[in-house]
Structure 1
Amino acid sequence: MESSRTRAQRDAITIEIGYALVSAFVLALVTFVAVAAPADLLLDLPGTWTRGVRIGAGALAVIVFVVRVVHVLWGYRGAPGTQPNQPGRTSADP
């Protein structure tokens, strides 16, 4: 069974997935640090509160990660020139 995608299209998809995962990881890490660091470094919170803030920061980071991956991959339309830019058109745009 042959694939209808070219090697370039498969490579483009692989790169897009890698970009989505790496950018989502970086954004999630920044989110976690931005929420958790002030609680650890600047505020004198009791241990239970600090732990709660860390759990909340982790949960928010997971949400940011998932949203970023979905956002990047949902917007991916394939390699340039492989699909029309407007629905209903039958030929690829120049």
Structure 2
Amino acid sequence: MTSHGGRRTQAERDAITVEIGYALCSAAFAAAVLFGAVAGPALLFGLPDTVELLLVRAGLVLAPLLFAARVASVLLRFRAADQPSQPGRTSPDS
């Protein structure tokens, strides 16, 4: 339901769909980069076993946390943004 009590328009549903897709793609990219930065040296270089295990596990813990945080931040920011009622127009409260 929208703030005015009616059903969502097709444009509102499309905007939500696009925002969810952006949140998931950007979060997956950020998590992959973080995993590569943390666990990459362990996978590329011959480090001691303990260090390799620590780096890979740290990457496996931090990447999903970053993924969830990124998705939440993008979607909450979208939800909090005051969207104009019509494209190209400002809302009446402004």
> Aligned residue for 2:68?
66
Whether contact under 8 Å (1:24, 1:68) holds in the other structure is yes
Name the TM-score, length of structure 1 as normaliser.
0.75
Larger relative contact order (Cα-Cα within 8 Å, sequence gap ≥ 6): 1
In the TM superposition, what are the counterparts of 1:25-36 in structure 2 within 5 Å? 25-36=28-39
In the TM superposition, what are the counterparts of 1:40-55 in structure 2 within 5 Å? 40-42=43-45, 44-46=47-49, 48-55=50-57
1:24 matched to 2:27? The reply is: yes
Name the TM-score, length of structure 2 as normaliser.
0.75
Q: Aligned letter for 1:61? A: A
For 1:11 and 1:79, how far apart are their aligned partners in 2?
A: 16
Consecutive unaligned residues in structure 2, runs of 5 or more: 1-5
Deviation at 1:36, TM superposition (A): 0.5
Q: Aligned letter for 2:32? A: L
For 1:28 and 1:57, how far apart are their aligned partners in 2?
A: 9
For 1:70 and 1:45, how far apart are their aligned partners in 2?
A: 36
Residues paired across the two proteins, number: 84
Deviation at 1:79, TM superposition (A): 8.0
4+ residue stretches of structure 1 with deviation over 4 A? none
For 1:92 and 1:10, how far apart are their aligned partners in 2?
A: 23
